[in-house]
Amino acid sequence: PPSQIPDADTWSCSACSAKCRKDEMPLQAESSISEALCGAMSRGRQQFSGPVSKEVAFYWKIKRDAQHAVGSKHWITALATFAWLQQCLVQLKCDPVILHTEAQFQKGSRMFSKWLEENAPDNVEQRLSALFASVRLESDLGGGMAAFGYDLDDKLGGSVSCRERLKEHGWDITPEGSMKLRNDEQPGDGAEMVTG
């Protein structure tokens, strides 16, 4: 039978330089948090009944649990942050009461943007997905894109700057760096559809 490679006595994280003994590795916590997060994301909204705030609270808890168990630079924490931000966008449109602050939204967006830049610099699709979620948050809340972790001249691993990509998708950028969807791009502005 093939021999097994013995487990290391200590492990260190290249992201945060933390060190721990093999018996201190948070493998069970990592596994259970990962299963809860990925399971919820794959099932989508159908598992939650009632206000969007339940979903927002669920992803916020997963994010906090992940930060505590595996640290802020782990992929589970990053993915939970992105899922939380996406649900916050829905909540901003649906719920009359929002329990999180603009500063928390901005911090979450900055964290995920930085995580993608450091860990998936060439994953243009995911980086653009995160950018557009942050653009919508900024459009609702203000503060400028820099507060959400984006330099509009960055190409996010692609060939076109954020500024140009956003313009292509109907977004105007104010001198303060805030986002505004062009009036002609918004549905329901009174424009008539020509047929035939």
pLDDT digits (tens, 9 = 90+) for 57-101: 999 999 999 999 988 889 999 999 999 999 999 889 888 888 899
Burial class (CB in 10 A: 0-12, 13-18, 19+), 41: middle
Rounded to an integer, what distance in angstroms lies between the CA atom of residue 47 and that of residue 90?
Answer: 16
Alpha-carbon distance of 97 to 81, in angstroms, equals: 20
Take residue 182 and report the two structure tokens written for it.
């062009």
What is the per-residue pLDDT for 46?
Answer: 61
Residue 134 confidence (pLDDT): 96
| pLDDT < 70: residue spans in the chain | 1-3, 15, 45-50, 184-196
Token pair recorded at residue 185: 């791009």
What's this model's pTM, rounded to 2 decimal places? Answer: 0.78
Nearest to 83 by CA among 120, 39, 30, 51: 39
The angle subtended at Cα 33 by Cα 32 and Cα 35, nearest 5°, is 65
Confidence at residue 163, expressed as pLDDT on a 0 to 100 scale: 92
Are the C-beta atoms of residues 83 and 59 closer than 8 Å to each other? yes
